[in-house]
Amino acid sequence: MDSLRDARPAAWVALALVAFGWIAGGFQSYELGLYVIYGIATQGVALCWGRLGFLSLGNALFFGMGAYLCGAVMKAAALHPGWYAALPLALLLPALLAYVVARLLFARTTRSGPYFALVTLALTMLGYLVAQQWSGVTGGYNGMLGIPSLPGFDRYGNLYWVVVCAAVASTWLLSTLLARPLGIAWSAISQHEPRMQLYGYATDRMKAWAFALSALLAALAGCLFAWQQGLVTPQSIGFGLSTDFVIWAAVGGKSSPVGALLGAVGIGYASMLMRQHFGEWEVVVGAVFIAVVLYLPQGLAGIWQRRGGRQAPSAPDLDAPPAAAAAAPLRLELRDVHAAQGGVRILDGLSLSLDGPGIRSVIGPNGAGKTSTFNAVVGQLRLQRGAIMLDGSDIAGLEPWRVARRGIGRKFQVPTVFAQLSVADNLRLALWAGRLRGTAWLGRRALRWRSDLLEELRRLFPVLAQQSQRSAGELSQGQRQALEFAMTVLPEPRLLLLDEPCAGLSPAETAHMAQAIRAVVARIGAAALLIEHDISAVAAMGGEVFVLHQGALLARGELAAIQAEPAVRAVYAGGSK
């Protein structure tokens, strides 16, 4: 049943395109087929933009590469049929280029806005110039002419059915991936990429693979274009076509493979018809685009898209694999750590250490450097000087996802959940962290994973079960605190960094959260560092207390002894709820 549900979008596409081919036939099918080809490339743009949150203005580069490479192979194969074996290169080379470009860009920054879009725009402009100037290979301005069609197919006849098959296949592939763990993770990256890294997900690689798939679809569309048109010109690799892909994705629906295809076929084909009979057709298309952007942010596909969380699979639950981090004694040591932001020194020679499991608290006035200490440990704050030793290895300078994979979990003061995903999917992402491997990303089994810890968390916080299909963004502050705490501990880290987990909670909720923290930390055998301004919560936790002041360690010891120290009393007075 789940497989049939995933195939439903592709079935609707197949039904519509097959019906059109039978009813219209001939030249009308040829004309529509061109926009179906464009629709396949538009689906790739929508995947990256609508699901992962980064916009490519350069997918025409991969479309044109696929078309030129396919055209060159087809012309060579007309003389020597053995060249047909090189056809896969027309798909693989553009995908490889996209992967390399994305890895280079995303390894340097998590910013996926204008930075990435402008780089891809520049690459497209470069590709256009190469296509124009390299006339010995591309044919220059006149283009590559005389490209044979696919053997056994007529470009004005039955080649339409090849195009239909390709569109159905691309729609099925994308719809299936988006319903699998990989698709859920892609959506989470677009909502809060730094949070995904703190669960140990290598987001730069995941985005690079998505961009490679986007380029593969564009190159496939380019091959179909070369077969259908019989020529490829530099306009097929230019910025204008890239802009069309973006417009069609926005109008049809950038979060839906069917919507993206609908945008290209509906708007593109309608524009072609209006161009023949209406001189101001561009005004109409522009008005439609503006109206959709203003009133239908999810595009035309958003009209019928279902809202709400993903329903849990009906098959029996499966036990999740053991946590990746071994339950070994932990030692953390910060040695003379210095850090600054915007010219302001926020950590000034901080040194502290902890050994073994148990709860410790970090207190101090606002601006003392508590949250900055956590940011430094997890790799979100670069050090000017010093070392952060975890089990004898310096982890300072590592990417956050590499730090997370060493068994460190981080909870924020303001709960950071994936607001547009269901509570169940939020918990799944945490349960998969450090456990999901290989083909499990593409299967449905991981959607049914469970663990004893997850069941205990659902008992401690009933909202996790009662509101499992509700969007996480609809939860109250206290419910989001519970959800993020559960997500932080589900990977079973050896070190928990809990930044004010009781912030915004009532006294009763604070007491319940403190009880849950003690129970879970003891269960997984973790070491926990807790930032808390509520001294009553600190007292309830017990354990050693670290006092920070102006980015350095002021004192450490049991709470009663700390409260009695004159130096601490001079700079800090804790409150209670």
The answer to whether residue 307 scores a pLDDT higher than 50 is no
Q: What is the reported pLDDT for 383? A: 94
C-beta of residue 413 within 8 angstroms of C-beta of residue 371: yes
Per-residue pLDDT band at 374 (split at 50, 70, 90): very high
Per-residue pLDDT band at 324 (split at 50, 70, 90): low
pLDDT (tens digit, 9 = 90+) per residue, 130-172?
999 988 888 888 889 999 998 889 888 889 999 999 999 999 9
444 in any annotated domain: no
Q: CA 257, 261, 265 angle in degrees (round to 5)? A: 170
Does residue 116 share a domain with residue 41? yes
Does residue 250 share a domain with residue 354? no
- Three-state secondary structure call for residue 146: coil
230 in any annotated domain: yes
C-beta of residue 299 within 8 angstroms of C-beta of residue 320: no
Over pLDDT 90: what percentage of the chain?
A: 61
- Helices assigned H by DSSP within 1-88: 2-23, 26-46, 59-79
Last residue of a domain, one of 262, 281, 301: 301
The answer to whether residue 31 scores a pLDDT higher than 90 is no
Per-residue pLDDT band at 474 (split at 50, 70, 90): very high
What residues does 546 pair with on adjacent strands?
A: 362, 556
Does residue 172 share a domain with residue 274? yes
Per-residue pLDDT band at 253 (split at 50, 70, 90): confident
pLDDT (tens digit, 9 = 90+) per residue, 332-371?
999 999 999 888 899 999 999 999 899 999 998 888 899 9
The answer to whether residue 5 scores a pLDDT higher than 70 is no
The answer to whether residue 504 scores a pLDDT higher than 90 is no
- Helices assigned H by DSSP within 370-506: 370-378, 400-404, 423-432, 452-460, 463-466, 477-489
**More confident of the two residues 211 and 105:** 211
Listing DSSP states for 246-258 in one string gives HHHHHHH-TT-HH
CA 322 to chain centre: 25
Does residue 283 share a domain with residue 212? yes
CA distance 430 to 520: 15
Per-residue pLDDT band at 283 (split at 50, 70, 90): confident
**More confident of the two residues 320 and 248:** 248
321 in any annotated domain: no
CA distance 385 to 147: 61
Does residue 404 share a domain with residue 289? no
The answer to whether residue 294 scores a pLDDT higher than 60 is yes
pLDDT (tens digit, 9 = 90+) per residue, 439-471?
999 999 999 999 999 999 999 999 999 999 999
- Three-state secondary structure call for residue 305: coil
Q: What is the reported pLDDT for 101? A: 94
Does residue 339 share a domain with residue 222? no
Last residue of a domain, one of 259, 282, 301: 301
pLDDT (tens digit, 9 = 90+) per residue, 167-211?
999 999 999 999 999 999 999 999 999 999 999 999 999 999 999
Q: Which of 311, 374, 312, 341 is nearest to 501 (CA)?
A: 374
Does residue 346 share a domain with residue 206? no
318 in any annotated domain: no
Does residue 182 share a domain with residue 113? yes
CA distance 411 to 404: 12
Query: Crossing angle for the helix pair 281-295 and 269-277, nearest 10 degrees?
Result: 150
Q: φ and ψ at 409, to 5 degrees?
A: -115, 145
- Helices assigned H by DSSP within 278-369: 281-295
The burial of 287, by beta-carbon neighbours within 10 Å (0-12 exposed, 13-18 middle, 19 or more buried), is given as exposed
Of 89-98, 175-184, 187-196, 247-256, minimum mean pLDDT range: 247-256
Q: What is the reported pLDDT for 489? A: 96
Does residue 339 share a domain with residue 289? no
Average pLDDT (82-94) is 95
User: Total domain count for the chain?
Assistant: 2
453 in any annotated domain: no
CATH number, domain containing residue 544? 3.40.50.300
The answer to whether residue 83 scores a pLDDT higher than 90 is yes
The rounded mean pLDDT for the chain is 88
Residue 545 is given by DSSP the state E
Of 11-15, 142-146, 263-267, minimum mean pLDDT range: 11-15
Does residue 341 share a domain with residue 273? no
CA distance 440 to 72: 38
Q: Which of 180, 212, 177, 196 is nearest to 100 (CA)?
A: 212
The burial of 391, by beta-carbon neighbours within 10 Å (0-12 exposed, 13-18 middle, 19 or more buried), is given as middle
The residue range of the domain holding 235 is 2-301
CA distance 356 to 85: 59
323 in any annotated domain: no
Does residue 224 share a domain with residue 271? yes
Does residue 388 share a domain with residue 288? no
Q: What is the reported pLDDT for 453? A: 95
459 in any annotated domain: no
485 in any annotated domain: no
C-beta of residue 260 within 8 angstroms of C-beta of residue 252: yes
pLDDT (tens digit, 9 = 90+) per residue, 526-576?
999 999 887 888 888 888 999 999 999 999 999 888 888 888 888 765 544
**More confident of the two residues 237 and 28:** 237
